[in-house]
Structures are given as C-alpha cells and as structure tokens.
C-alpha cells in the first residue's frame, strides 16, 4: 500500500509488518523486500534493515536465497548477504525449470553453467531449448543438436 512516498506492507492478519520511504517496493519472499530509492534497487528485511545496498538497476529473488540483479545493463546473481554468486556480465541469465543449471546469453549466444558458475555447455548456441537435468537440446545454425 502506498501513501505518498511511504510504502507499507501488511500481513493477512491486518498487521503492518514493514514501513518504508521509497519510490517502489515489493515483497520478494524469505522475509525480504526489494526496495527502489533514487532510481536504484536494494533489499531490506521486514524490520526495515538494509540487507543489500541500493546500487542495482534491478533486484528480485528467484530461488533459495539467490537474488537476480542487474547492474549497468548486465545480469547476475548475489546471495542474501550481498555476496556475488554469478557476476553481472550476462545479457540474460535464468535458472532452468529444474533449478540445477543456469541458462545464459552473452555476446549473442546461449550456454549453460552449473550453480557454482562453471560453464558446462559452451556459450556458442543460437537458441537453448531445454535442459532436463541430464540432456540439453540446443539450436546451432538453424539445426537442433
């Protein structure tokens, strides 16, 4: 709920759980709130304590404490302590549906990496189709591989 620049979060019991002066905010889950101040995003807990500094173009939680962030037009992931997990150097990056691999797009090509950031399928494909946990289907030069 917004009241001027004052944003409030309420729980289902009608209790106010967070109050914040900012441009925008949304509840991310895991007791964290993504907050926009002065055109930059950071993360606060439900007590209003800053957890992640306000330096990102975007910040949203994706999976098990991994926070998807954008800085200077490039995407990556940090954890809930603000530590870099995957550097902000990708044009697009996202967890596959099985949440065991990251699909990424860099320099006009797709590839996959594991959750430790190690590239396991080279970044040379035109389009990723899917990765089911064991096998990836990709397109290179218009042909499925």
* Model confidence band, residue 10 (pLDDT cutoffs 50, 70, 90): confident
Q: What is the pLDDT of residues 75-131, one digit of tens each?
A: 999 998 899 999 999 999 988 766 678 889 999 998 889 889 999 888 887 766 655
Bridge partner list, 104: 93, 111
Which token pair is 23?
A: 């441009």
Domains of the chain as residue ranges with CATH: 1-79 (2.40.10), 91-145 (no CATH)
Q: What is the pLDDT of residues 29-81, one digit of tens each?
A: 888 889 898 999 999 888 888 899 999 999 987 677 889 999 999 999 999 88
């Amino acid at each position: 709920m917004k009241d001027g620049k004052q944003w409030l979060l309420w729980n289902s019991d009608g209790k106010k759980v967070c109050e914040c002066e900012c441009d925008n905010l949304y509840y991310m889950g895991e007791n964290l709130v993504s907050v926009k101040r002065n055109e930059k995003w950071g993360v606060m807990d439900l007590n209003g304590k800053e957890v992640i500094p306000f330096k990102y173009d975007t910040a949203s939680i994706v999976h098990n404490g991994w926070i998807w962030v954008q800085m200077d037009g490039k995407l990556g992931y940090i954890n809930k302590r603000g530590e870099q997990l995957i550097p902000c150097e990708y044009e697009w990056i996202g967890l596959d549906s099985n949440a065991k691999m990251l699909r990424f797009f860099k320099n006009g090509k797709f590839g996959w990496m594991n959750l430790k950031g190690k590239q396991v399928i080279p970044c040379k494909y035109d389009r990723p189709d899917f990765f089911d946990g064991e096998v990836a289907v990709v397109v290179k030069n218009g042909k499925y591989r």
